[in-house]
């Protein structure tokens, strides 16, 4: 197989950035996306010469096709983008809800749709969508996040059926303690979550990167919704 290209949507920060870094270390070409063109390019340059930065806002799905026009053949696609959101059903913010539902459930789907003519129709081609354990382990303010992460499960099932031999899987991380969003929380916030894992520790970004690479590459695996949470569900 020749050189592979992996596109990481939401590759400027957190888990997506670590996945991009890992793909570079494997000798692959990488396209990272973020909302701001200059910032995304700067981060791409910092990752190395095999990385291209593309500006993309998937909460505006009708703009995705034009923004991705310059992307060539793709062998791996990771959809990791998220806008941080706190919403509850008692104090429901419709605008925020519509924005985040659109980002994940329409934006992820439209990105796959747009790149279909560039995704090699082969079992070696993998797509990984990011959901999260909030789908079945809600926390205060996770109303929209829990809903869209549940939606990712359904999306994986239908895309895997429709796009075979291309493989489509999802990662559902638990709280990832060393990700920028959670690592920046005040001291003590993570303790409650750590106490809900059997080993008293949270999954790391490295754990999630490793799981993503497995789903991208293992040719026997499709339509899997993989939880990476150090066993949070079992206690």
Residues that bind ligand NAP (CB under 6 A): 10-16, 34-36, 39, 56-59, 80-84, 103, 130, 132, 173, 175-176, 179-182
Instruction: Give the distance, in angstroms, between the CA of residue 63 and the centroid of all CA atoms in the same chain.
Output: 19
The residue among 53 and 119 lying less far from ligand NAP, judged by its C-beta, is 53
Min dist CB 134 to ligand NAP, Å, is 6
The residue among 2 and 191 lying less far from ligand NAP, judged by its C-beta, is 191
The residue among 29 and 135 lying less far from ligand NAP, judged by its C-beta, is 135
Min dist CB 29 to ligand NAP, Å, is 18
Non-local (6+) Cβ contacts of 51 within 8 A are 20, 24, 29, 30, 31, 32, 44, 45
Q: Kindly give the interhelix angle for 143-163 and 108-115, rounded to the nearest 10 degrees.
A: 20
Min dist CB 170 to ligand NAP, Å, is 10
Min dist CB 1 to ligand NAP, Å, is 27
Locus of tokens 């973020």: 34
The residue among 105 and 221 lying less far from ligand NAP, judged by its C-beta, is 105
Q: Left (φ > 0), alpha (ψ -120 to 50) or beta: where does 185 sit? A: beta
C-alpha 167/C-alpha 100 separation (Å) is: 25
Min dist CB 2 to ligand NAP, Å, is 28
The residue among 139 and 219 lying less far from ligand NAP, judged by its C-beta, is 139
Q: Left (φ > 0), alpha (ψ -120 to 50) or beta: where does 232 sit? A: alpha
H helix or E strand, kind and range, residue 77: strand 76-79
Q: Which residue number places its CB atom closest to ligand NAP?
A: 14
């Amino acid at each position: 197989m020749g050189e592979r290209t992996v596109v990481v949507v939401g590759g400027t920060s957190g888990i997506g950035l670590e996945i991009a870094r890992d793909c570079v270390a494997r000798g692959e070409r990488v396209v990272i996306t973020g909302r701001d063109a200059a910032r995304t390019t700067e981060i791409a340059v910092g990752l190395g010469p095999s990385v291209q930065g593309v500006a993309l806002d998937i909460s505006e799905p009708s703009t995705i096709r034009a923004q991705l026009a310059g992307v060539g053949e793709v062998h791996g696609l990771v959809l990791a983008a998220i806008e941080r959101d706190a919403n509850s059903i008692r104090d429901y913010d419709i605008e925020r809800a519509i924005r985040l539902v659109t980002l994940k459930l329409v934006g992820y789907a439209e990105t796959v749709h747009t790149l279909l003519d560039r995704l090699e129709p082969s079992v070696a081609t993998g797509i990984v969508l990011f959901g999260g354990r909030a789908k079945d382990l809600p926390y205060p303010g996770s109303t929209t996040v829990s809903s869209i992460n549940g939606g990712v499960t359904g999306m994986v099932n239908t895309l895997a059926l429709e796009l075979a031999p291309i493989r489509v899987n999802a990662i559902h991380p638990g709280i990832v303690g060393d990700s920028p969003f959670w690592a920046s929380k005040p001291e003590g916030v993570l303790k409650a979550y750590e106490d809900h894992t059997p080993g008293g520790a949270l999954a790391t970004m490295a754990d999630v990167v490793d799981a993503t690479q497995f789903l991208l590459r293992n040719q026997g695996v499709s339509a899997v919704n993989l939880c990476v949470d150090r066993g949070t569900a079992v206690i």
